[in-house]
Amino acid sequence: MSSVNPSKVDATPSSRSAVSERGVGAASTNRPFVVATFAITADGKVTTKNFGPVDFTSREDKLHLFRQRASADAVLIGHTSLERDNVRLGLPADLQELRSKRGQSRSPIRVIISNKGRIDERLKIFQSDISPIIVFSTKRMPQKNRKALQTKATLHLTDAKHVDLAVMLKTLRNQYKVGTLACEGGPTLFRALLEEDLIDQLNLTIAPHMFGGATAPTLTGLNNKFLPASVQCSLINMRTIENECFLIYRIKHQRGRRK
Ligand SMILES: NC(=O)c1ccc[n+]([C@@H]2O[C@H](COP(=O)([O-])OP(=O)(O)OC[C@H]3O[C@@H](n4cnc5c(N)ncnc54)[C@H](OP(=O)(O)O)[C@@H]3O)[C@@H](O)[C@H]2O)c1
């Protein structure tokens, strides 16, 4: 990015949510408005060398992630991030309260995606009943996993070898009334959504670290191929808090239209 319009730069801490940043048009297509939230290092990495839980950002960034989650109807996570970070995808009490006041459920629906379906029911997410859990996977899911998961989650298993992301989003919109979907990664899932032009907004925190490492994933993962088409973003908000920079990009859709 060569320059930033100063009128768009907001250097003061703000609690603006993804909802307030959202453009018109979410209701005009047959899928939710998809907002991805990531933190990267100054050299563009999303995780440490051991692919450990994301712990290189400040408390403010963690609050930022919670606020994005709180503003959505559902939160989506890829199987690897779920396993590695072992997250419940819950919210602090004050944000649950705020959702209640807005007439929403106290916590967003939690959505997991996996092609293979080898999802361990002992993960923390399945030990918490704060909101429904929906799993999109394939009939490759082993019977033992199906049996263990079906009492804890709603399973959508396709006959195809891979989950169709556009169909998944359509199902979330039509069957679960999801207007805004918060995608919390990881990079493999984000790239797959980008390739199909299914991301509307990217919230990006740049953290004051550098990890290096050719085998450390960037925002679009470890895939060394170019994206099918370069993705254009427009910066709609930027703020800095101490050493971190919080950016909000609107993703420009190919041919100018949301699918
Ligand atoms: N810095 C950040 O903000 C941030 C955010 C999130 C995650 N992370 C880090 O990223 C790392 C994991 O990243 P990752 O790229 O390996 O994992 P990921 O995107 O979380 O998960 C990849 C897995 O999710 C499933 N999946 C992804 N795309 C799919 C699609 N289109 N259709 C069906 N299933 C799909 C597949 O599961 P199956 O293999 O089960 O088929 C795939 O192997 C972790 O270290 C995590 O801490 C960082």
Report if residue 15 sits inside a domain.
Answer: no
Report if residue 193 sits inside a domain.
Answer: yes
The residue to mutate among 34, 115, 125, having the most atoms of ligand 1 within 8 angstroms of its beta carbon, is 115
Report if residue 88 sits inside a domain.
Answer: yes
**CA-closest residue to ligand 1 atom 1:** 46
Report if residue 167 sits inside a domain.
Answer: yes
Residue 66 domain boundaries: 29-256
Going residue by residue through the chain (259 aa), what tens digit of pLDDT does each one get?
A: 333 333 333 333 333 334 434 444 444 579 999 999 999 999 999 997 777 776 899 999 999 999 999 999 999 999 999 999 999 999 999 999 999 999 999 999 999 999 999 999 999 999 999 999 999 999 999 999 999 999 999 999 999 999 999 999 999 999 999 999 999 999 999 999 999 999 999 999 999 999 999 889 999 999 989 999 999 999 999 999 999 999 999 999 987 767 7
Residue type, 134: I
CATH number at residue 112: 3.40.430.10
Q: Is any ligand 1 atom within 6 A of the Cβ of residue 142?
A: no
Nearest to 69 by CA among 18, 127, 131: 18
Task: Kindly state the helix (H) or strand (E) to which residue 95 belongs, with its residue range.
Answer: helix 93-101
Which residues, 6+ apart, have CB-to-CB distance to 85 below 8 Å? Answer: 53, 54
Domain count, the chain: 1
